C-alpha cells in the first residue's frame, strides 16, 4: 500500500497540473478499509490529503489554475471516500450486532418451539395412556377381576409410554437438524397401530371409519415413530373437523396405496373442509384455523415427511371435507 501511494505521489508530482493522479488515493482508502481500524483509516486519509498538497506544491508544469482545481477535487474526493467508508464500516458493525441479537432471540424461540412441539406431539400417547389406565381400573374392579384384560391394558400403557419417550427424542433431533433414523418397516402395521388408538374416539363421536390399506405394499424406508406422529396428527385433525358437522355426515376414510416406488397414505374426512385461501398457509408454523389451536401440528408434519424424503399436501373434497396425503420412499426406491 505504501508503494502504491509512493507511485501515485511521484506520478502526480512529475506530471503537469492538468493530470489529477492524486484522485487515485481514493482507491488506496477503499482497499485499506478491509484491513485498517477506524482510527487508522482516518490517519491514512489525512496522509493522502497531506501528500496531495505536497505534490501540488512541488509541481512546476502546466496551468496552475487547472492544477488548483484538480487538487481541490482530489482532496474532496479523498475526504468523501474516507467518510463514506467509515459510515459503511459503522453500518456493517451495527449489522453484526443486530445479527448477534437475532441469533440470541432465535435460540430462545427455538426452545419455545421445541417445548410447544413436544407438548403437542405428546398429547396423543398421553391420552391413550389415560384411556388404557381407566380401562385397567374397570377390569380390576370387576368381581372377579378380569386379569387378562387388565394385563392387556397395562401392556398398552407401557407401549404408549415408550412411544412418548421416542417422540421426545425424535422431536428434539428434528429441531436440531439431525437426520431421521430411516429403517425399513411394514407401513400398514404402523398405520394400524395408530388407527387402533383413534377408533375409540371415533366411536364416541359417531364417526364412520373406512380403512382401505393396500396389501401389497413394499417396506417403507423412513423413521417409523416420526411417521406415526404424522399419521396420528392427520387422523386427529380429521376427527376434530368431523365433530363440527351433523352426525349423518361424519365419516373418515383412511387409505394406503403404492405409487411407483413410493407409498401414499391419505386421510379423507367429510368435515368442515378448508376455507378458500388457506391452502398456502396450512403448513406454516403457528398458523391455524382452530380457535384453540397453536398451529404447529401440520408444520411439524411437513418437516417430518420432507426430512424422510417424502411430500405432504392437502386439498378440498368436492362434497365437503378435506383430504390430507403424504408420500414416503420405500426399499424399492432405495434399490433403484
Helices 64-141 and 224-242: crossing angle in degrees, nearest 10, is 80
How far apart, in Å, are the Cα atoms of 239 and each of 91, 192, 314? 53, 16, 16
pLDDT of residue 329: 93
pLDDT of residue 287: 41
* Class of the domain covering 183-335: alpha beta
pLDDT of residue 116: 55
Q: Global pTM?
A: 0.49
How far apart, in Å, are the Cα atoms of 255 and each of 145, 198, 212, 283, 315? 38, 15, 5, 21, 15
What is the distance between the alpha carbons of residues 270 and 253, in angstroms, rounded to a whole number?
A: 9
Question: What are the φ/ψ torsions at residue 262 (nearest 5 degrees)?
Answer: -120, 155
- With vertex at residue 114, the alpha carbon angle to CA 112 and CA 115, rounded to the nearest 5 degrees, is 65
Around Cβ 58, how many Cβ atoms within 10 Å?
A: 10
pLDDT of residue 107: 47
In terms of Cβ atoms closer than 10 Å to its own Cβ (0-12, 13-18, 19+), residue 123 is middle
pLDDT of residue 44: 87
pLDDT of residue 290: 47
Q: CB neighbours of 46 closer than 8 A, spacing ≥ 6?
A: none
pLDDT of residue 276: 62
Whether the Cβ atoms of residue 19 and residue 12 lie closer than 8 Å to each other:
yes
Q: Which residue do the cell numbers 459503522 mark?
A: 90
pLDDT of residue 174: 52
pLDDT of residue 229: 81
Cell of 144: 372377579
Q: What does pLDDT average to in each consecutive run of 10 residues of the chain (336 residues)?
A: 84 80 83 81 87 84 83 87 83 68 51 54 74 84 84 83 72 56 89 82 88 91 86 86 87 92 92 66 52 54 86 82 90 62
- Do the strands 251-259 and 220-222 form a parallel or antiparallel pair, or are they unpaired? unpaired
pLDDT of residue 213: 93
Amino acid at each position: 500500500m505504501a508503494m502504491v501511494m509512493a507511485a501515485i505521489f511521484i506520478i502526480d508530482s512529475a506530471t503537469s497540473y492538468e493530470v489529477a493522479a492524486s484522485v487515485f488515493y481514493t482507491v488506496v482508502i477503499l482497499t485499506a478499509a478491509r484491513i485498517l481500524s477506524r482510527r487508522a483509516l482516518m490517519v491514512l486519509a489525512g496522509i493522502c490529503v497531506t501528500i496531495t498538497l505536497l505534490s501540488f506544491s512541488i509541481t512546476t508544469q502546466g496551468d496552475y489554475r487547472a492544477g488548483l482545481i484538480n487538487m481541490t477535487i482530489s482532496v474532496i474526493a479523498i475526504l468523501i471516500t474516507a467518510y463514506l467508508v467509515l459510515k459503511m464500516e459503522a453500518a456493517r458493525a451495527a449489522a453484526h450486532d443486530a445479527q448477534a441479537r437475532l441469533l440470541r432471540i432465535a435460540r430462545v424461540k427455538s426452545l419455545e418451539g421445541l417445548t410447544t412441539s413436544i407438548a403437542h406431539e405428546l398429547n396423543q400417547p398421553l391420552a391413550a395412556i389415560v384411556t388404557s389406565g381407566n380401562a385397567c381400573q374397570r377390569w380390576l374392579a370387576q368381581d372377579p377381576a378380569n386379569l387378562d384384560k387388565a394385563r392387556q391394558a397395562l401392556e398398552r400403557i407401557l407401549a404408549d409410554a415408550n412411544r412418548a419417550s421416542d417422540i421426545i427424542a425424535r422431536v428434539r433431533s428434528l429441531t436440531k437438524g439431525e437426520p431421521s433414523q430411516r429403517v425399513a418397516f411394514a407401513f400398514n402395521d404402523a398405520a394400524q397401530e395408530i388407527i387402533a388408538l383413534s377408533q375409540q374416539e371415533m366411536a364416541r363421536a359417531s364417526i364412520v371409519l373406512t380403512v382401505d390399506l393396500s396389501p401389497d405394499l413394499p417396506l417403507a424406508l423412513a423413521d417409523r415413530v416420526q411417521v406415526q406422529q404424522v399419521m396420528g396428527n392427520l387422523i386427529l385433525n380429521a376427527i376434530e373437523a368431523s365433530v363440527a358437522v351433523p352426525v349423518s355426515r361424519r365419516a373418515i376414510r383412511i387409505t394406503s396405496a403404492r405409487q411407483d416406488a413410493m407409498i401414499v397414505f391419505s386421510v379423507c374426512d367429510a368435515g368442515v373442509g378448508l376455507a378458500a385461501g388457506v391452502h398456502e398457509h396450512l403448513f406454516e408454523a403457528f398458523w391455524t384455523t382452530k380457535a384453540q389451536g397453536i398451529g404447529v401440528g401440520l408444520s411439524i408434519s411437513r418437516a417430518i415427511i420432507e426430512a424422510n424424503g417424502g411430500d405432504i399436501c392437502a386439498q378440498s373434497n368436492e362434497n365437503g371435507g378435506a383430504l390430507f396425503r403424504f408420500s414416503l420412499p420405500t426399499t424399492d426406491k432405495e434399490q433403484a
